Amino acid sequence: MLRGDTVLLRPLKRSDITNFLKWNNDPEVIQYLAMYLPMTEMAQEKLIEDAASRIQAGTGVIFIIEVTEGNSSKPIGPVALNGINPRDHNATFGISIGEKDYWGKGYGTEATRLILDYGFQQLNLHRISSSVLAFNERSIRLHKKVGFKEEGLQREAIFQNGRFHDHVMFGILRDEWKGH
Ligand SMILES: CC(C)(COP(=O)(O)OP(=O)(O)OC[C@H]1O[C@@H](n2cnc3c(N)ncnc32)[C@H](O)[C@@H]1OP(=O)(O)O)[C@@H](O)C(=O)NCCC(=O)NCCS
């Protein structure tokens, strides 16, 4: 469990499937993730099993972001480091707040800072990569705010909603991470 001021990151549970089915079938959310197929219960179960296998193998970590509200807390989406490469000490960051009412309130920034800290301090990573669809202004601002550097642009790489979109590539090195 990783605790911040307004969010905590907790391990995945089987019962999270209900939340994932809601989040991963919401067109407003998945437009930013370049997903477009309906997410079935069977496919979602497999995704959760695969995530658990990656944790076992040491190739990925995933947490559920929870917002503390009085005595209870509300799960709002996953945050993850995938493709953990122990030789080169790098990994790829991903986040998706599936509860739209919780967008733009600073929770994504705090969850990102917590998992970057975990990646650099606990997993001993040297570099964390990420990529963002060019129209996802909220995510681009988040990346720059926490210290990611823009490293390139894959032009018209992703087809979404009837047209091709640029994909912005980001990276952050351990030395650049000062708990931004
Ligand atoms: C992208 C996402 C993780 C950002 O988290 P969040 O909690 O909503 O964002 P934050 O409140 O931490 O704000 C991050 C930045 O976006 C800005 N922002 C907020 N709403 C915005 C909007 N509607 N348009 C542009 N920027 C906006 C904030 O002001 C902040 O930047 P600043 O501090 O420099 O001003 C979250 O919105 C999300 O998961 N969205 C859906 C899926 C997705 O896009 N995942 C990421 C794929 S790369």
- Residue 180 pLDDT > 80: no
Residue 142 CA to ligand 1 centre (angstroms): 6
pLDDT single digits (tens) 104-148: 999 999 999 999 999 999 999 999 999 999 999 999 999 999 999
Atom of ligand 1 nearest to the CA of 96: 39
Residue 87 CA to ligand 1 centre (angstroms): 32
Average pLDDT over residues 67-91: 95
Residue 99 CA to ligand 1 centre (angstroms): 12
What are the two backbone dihedrals, phi and then psi, of residue 153, each rounded to the nearest 5 degrees? -135, 120
- Residue 179 pLDDT > 80: no
Query: What is this structure's pTM?
Result: 0.97
Whether 123 and 84 have beta carbons less than 8 Å apart is answered as: yes
Atom of ligand 1 nearest to the CA of 97: 39
What are the two backbone dihedrals, phi and then psi, of residue 9, each rounded to the nearest 5 degrees? -110, 120
**Which of 2, 47, 3, 1 minimizes the C-alpha distance to 21?**
47
Atom of ligand 1 nearest to the CA of 77: 39
Average pLDDT over residues 83-87: 97
Mutation to probe ligand 1, out of 6, 113, 141 (largest number of atoms < 8 A from CB): 141
